[in-house]
Chain A
Amino acid sequence: MSIWEYANPKKFMQTSAWALPWVVGLTVLCLGTGLVWGFFFTPDDYKQGSTVKIIYIHVPAAMMAINAWVMMLVTSLIWIVRRHHVSALAAKAAAPVGMTFTLIALITGALWGQPMWGTWWAWDPRLTSFLILFLFYLGYIALWAAVDDPDTAADLTGVLCIVGSVFALLSRYAVNFWNQGLHQGASLSMDEKENVSDVFWLPLLVCIAGFVLLFLTLVLIRTRTEIRTRRAHALMARERLA
């Protein structure tokens, strides 16, 4: 079986209808377990006190803000190269989800930064690239809404997505190569010395899995909505011609 079979809207609708209840169940389980574990059953950090509990929403939201854009990039490239409508609609469906995750990362970052750094905001490389990523999400959604022809909109937003990927990657790696600013390095690392302690790391992993599943749930629901809307508009166009 080839992955391109799912480019067929009918096949996608059938498979996603079967998968959705499982994905929703796993999302509730992972997100519920991770957040309750992190909020209620982890100790305060010796340096950051109880603000360390913000890690369970800030880090997964920030990771998914970038990963959502990467997913949009892949699906946009599939649209540009192979002209599969489902992939263009999946990119469109993912944008509001990615934008919300970016906004959550910015807000929780500001709320965390104020007591730790003494400021809500700094023009730090990672913070600034995240703000630009948020603006790219807004622009992407606005461009889809502004163009009437869906194929032209998919083409234009695909190009915007490729350009915005520079900032998505910059958001991810800015702290590694830009040795300035307030934001610390990656919270999750293969290097034991850099990685957060196990007592925070394990619930954080569960929360990250929960956010990945939440993203998947919402993208599936929203892509199905886009496919239905596209079909309804195609039928209405046929009605007008008849």
Chain B
Amino acid sequence: MMPDLGKYAVAVLGSYAATVVLLAALVGLSVWQRARAKRLLAETEARQAARERGRTDG
């Protein structure tokens, strides 16, 4: 299945490996930042909603 890359195996596999590592890091970072922003906004909106409820009740 694996093609015979001959004497250029290091250059070809190195290129693919570097690309996979960099893209995986970028996707991982983007997904982590997305989860963090979602959590931050949910917490902030919950605090605001609680304060507004308190103001209405009081």
When the two chains form their complex, are residues A239 and B11 in contact, meaning their CB atoms are under 8 A apart?
no
A177 at the interface (CB under 8 A from B): no
Q: Complex formed: what's the CA distance from A39 to B3 in Å?
A: 8
Interface size class of A (residues with CB under 8 A): 35 or more
A57 at the interface (CB under 8 A from B): yes
**Chain B contact residues, majority secondary structure:** helix
A39-B16, A115-B11 known; A232-B26 Cβ under 8 A: no
A235 at the interface (CB under 8 A from B): yes
List the A side residues contacting B34 at CB < 8 Å. Answer: 221-222, 224-225
When the two chains form their complex, are residues A97 and B26 in contact, meaning their CB atoms are under 8 A apart?
yes
Q: Complex formed: what's the CA distance from A224 to B37 in Å?
A: 9
Closest approach, in angstroms, between the C-beta of B48 and any C-beta of chain A?
Answer: 6
For A114, give its contact among B11, B26, B38, B41 (CB under 8 Å).
B11
For B37, give its contact among A54, A112, A232, A238 (CB under 8 Å).
A232
Q: Complex formed: what's the CA distance from A112 to B19 in Å?
A: 13
When the two chains form their complex, are residues B3 and A222 in contact, meaning their CB atoms are under 8 A apart?
no
Enumerate B1-45 residues with CB–CB distance to A below 8 Å: 1, 3-9, 11-12, 14-16, 18-19, 22-23, 25-27, 29-31, 33-34, 37-38, 40-41, 44-45
A39-B3, A50-B12, A57-B19 known; A231-B48 Cβ under 8 A: no
Closest approach, in angstroms, between the C-beta of A114 and any C-beta of chain B?
Answer: 7
A96 at the interface (CB under 8 A from B): yes
Q: Complex formed: what's the CA distance from A184 to B29 in Å?
A: 34
- A231, A232, A238, A239: which has the most chain B beta carbons within 10 Å? A232
When the two chains form their complex, are residues B41 and A57 in contact, meaning their CB atoms are under 8 A apart?
no
A111-B11, A229-B40 known; A239-B48 Cβ under 8 A: yes
Interface string of B36-58 (1 = CB under 8 A from A): 01101100110110010000000
A23 at the interface (CB under 8 A from B): no
For A235, give its contact among B31, B37, B45 (CB under 8 Å).
B45
| 25 A–B contacts from the bound complex (CB under 8 Å) | A39-B3, A40-B3, A44-B6, A50-B8, A51-B11, A53-B3, A57-B15, A58-B15, A96-B26, A100-B26, A104-B19, A107-B19, A108-B15, A111-B15, A218-B27, A221-B34, A222-B33, A222-B34, A225-B37, A226-B37, A231-B41, A232-B41, A235-B41, A236-B44, A242-B51
